[in-house]
Amino acid sequence: MRRSEGTYQYDWVTIVVYYALVLIGWIGIYAATYTEGTSYSIFSLDINSGRQLIWVFTSVFLVLAILLVDFRFYEKIAYVFYAAIMIALLLVLIIAREVDGASSWLELGPAKIQPSEFAKYATGLALARFLSSIGGKDLSKRRAIVISTAIVGLPTLLILLQGDAGSALVFVAMILVLYRAGMTPIPIYIGIYLIILFLSSLLVRNLIMVLILSTVTLILVGLSFRNLQRLMLIIIVFVMSLGFIFSVDFIMKDVLKPHQQARVLALVDPSVDPSGKGVSYQTTNSKITIGSGGLTGKGFLQGSLTQGDFVPAQSTDFIFSAIGEEYGWLGSLVLVGLFITLFFRLLFLAERQKSTFARVYGYVVFTVLFTHFTLNIAMTIGLFPVVGIPLPFLSYGGSSLWSFTILLFIFLKLDAHRMQILER
């Protein structure tokens, strides 16, 4: 590589943080699968930690491949790749539905792939290419908004139809990318407002909700009765809010699946499952596992609940509980700190890009990782219903590790060549 020319250099901060996270994850996976009395080493291929090591090593080759490919390649293939993945998603929907409605895996002979994982950067690349193609023009144009929304919306819909609500949420979060690209923030505000309304109507009875809304509306009307336009807006919002409140029941019962309903309810209202042995079993045990870690944790392989297999899926989605128990709050601080460092670095890297393509793609990387991190940690400490979302770089699993690695290193490749954009 031509590092000596100074024109292209990989961001070592990100790479160091990346490997730190992978290492922590690997140790956590060993703790989560280790059983007292058995003598499996951390390298043993009979347990998840040994297999994860294989995924880590193979991902090195993936990284090298990504770095060897010309950086312009990614922009060029963006649409083709996107189209291919969308077809794959459709195929999953058609083929997999016949076998098992909730499956998101596509079986190609002996290999099993999960197109929704690839969809993340396919969508990211396509979105970046599109926003780059409209050049300096911002996203205030209706046509641009519609197309970008469609690029993100299509995979969201297809994945939602697969029944993978967690991954769909990650795509929804790409609204953040559009926001940075200049889209009006109003949809975000509306989204936040609806989430608040949704949760509050689960918490308090509809009648009280109506009373609160009416009071707030009356005050607002009183403050702006001279401004007819604003008055109209307030009343429309009020009427639509009322409609939304009364449709919460419908959403709960008819849109969400029974297990999703239960998880949402258990989160809002602990009395749904007071013993913690029903729907909230996983969350409850995860919280207790993390909570029992104390300030400094119980030590490597000393996490009694981790060793006792009290948290289901601990080496995959609930890997954080193993780290929280064995390394305590200080361990959590280090982990959260590393992620925040990574996010700040990604934002910084994205902002220093000369090309729109690289910048938008950078934001996609940030958004995907940030959403995974937020939802995953929130879910393990009982702030969010359980959705099947892995913790990037830490959770056990080849698919997820490869996918996040590819996502991240394409951006690092683009970043390394950012100076060449000007030369072009």
Partner 1 sequence: MFKQRVIAIYIVTILVGLTFLIRLFVIQVVDDKYKTEADTRIITPIVEYPYRGLIYDRNEELLVYNEPAYDLMVIRSQAKNIDTLALCDILGITRDDFDQKMKGSHPIRPSLFFEMLSNEEFAVIQDQLIHFPGFFVAPRTVRKYPHQSLAHALGYLAEISKRQLERDTARYYSQGDYVGINGIESEYEASLRGRRGIRHKKVNNRGLITGDFGEGALDSLSVPGDNITLTIDLELQQYAEKLMAGKVGSLVAIEPSTGEILAIVSSPSYDPNLLTGRTFGSNFREIQLDSLKPLFNRPLRARYAPGSMFKTIQSLIALQAGVVTANEQIYSNNQLIGDLAPIGYYDVRKAIQFSSNNYYFKVFRRLINQNKDPNTFIDSRLGLDWWQERVKKFGLGVQLDIDISGAHEGLVPQPKLYDRYYGRNRWKFSNIASLSIGQGELNVTPLQMANLGALLANRGFYYSPHIIKSVGDSDGIPEKYRIKNYVEVDSVHFEPVLDGMELVVKSGSGTRAYMPDIEVCGKTSTVQNSFGEDHSGFMGFAPKDNPQIAIAAYVENASWGGRAAASTASLVMEKYIRGHITRKYLEDYVLKGEFVY
Nearer to partner 1, 292 or 399 (CB): 292
Going by C-alpha positions, the residue among 132, 13, 11, 135 that lies closest to residue 410 is 11
Nearer to partner 1, 366 or 404 (CB): 366
Minimum gap (Å) between residue 182 Cβ and partner 1? 5
Q: ∠ CA(323), CA(329), CA(334), 5° rounding?
A: 70
Q: How far lies 261's CA from each of 170, 255, 312, in Å?
A: 20, 9, 20
Minimum gap (Å) between residue 145 Cβ and partner 1? 14
247-261 in b/e form (b: 16+ CB < 10 A) is ebeeebeeebeeebb
Nearer to partner 1, 100 or 309 (CB): 309
Minimum gap (Å) between residue 322 Cβ and partner 1? 14
Minimum gap (Å) between residue 319 Cβ and partner 1? 15
- HSE (CB half, 13 Å, CA atoms) of 218? 6
Nearer to partner 1, 56 or 377 (CB): 377
Q: Tokens 């929804």, residue? A: 172
142-165 in b/e form (b: 16+ CB < 10 A) is eebbebbbebbebbbebbebbbbb
Residues of this chain that bind partner 1 (CB under 8 A): 35-37, 136, 138, 176, 179-182, 285, 287-295, 304-305, 307-310, 324, 328-329, 332-333, 336-337, 339-340, 343-344, 347, 351, 366, 370, 373-374, 377-378, 381, 383
Nearer to partner 1, 232 or 333 (CB): 333
Contact 379, 388 (CB under 8 A): no
Nearer to partner 1, 363 or 409 (CB): 363
Contact 166, 375 (CB under 8 A): yes
Q: Tokens 């922009």, residue? A: 75
394-407 in b/e form (b: 16+ CB < 10 A) is bbbbebbbbbbbbb
- Other CB atoms within 10 A of residue 27 CB: 19
- Other CB atoms within 10 A of residue 8 CB: 16
Minimum gap (Å) between residue 33 Cβ and partner 1? 13
Minimum gap (Å) between residue 242 Cβ and partner 1? 29
Nearer to partner 1, 180 or 263 (CB): 180
Tokens of 329: 């709050």
Nearer to partner 1, 66 or 360 (CB): 360
Q: How far lies 177's CA from each of 120, 363, 364, 402, in Å?
A: 13, 6, 6, 23
Nearer to partner 1, 292 or 420 (CB): 292
Minimum gap (Å) between residue 3 Cβ and partner 1? 29
Q: Looking only at Cα atoms, what is the longest distance across the chain? A: 78
Q: How far apart are CA 217 and CA 214, in angstroms?
A: 5
Nearer to partner 1, 50 or 362 (CB): 362
Q: How far lies 187's CA from each of 54, 145, 194, in Å?
A: 43, 12, 10
Minimum gap (Å) between residue 138 Cβ and partner 1? 6
Contact 78, 125 (CB under 8 A): yes
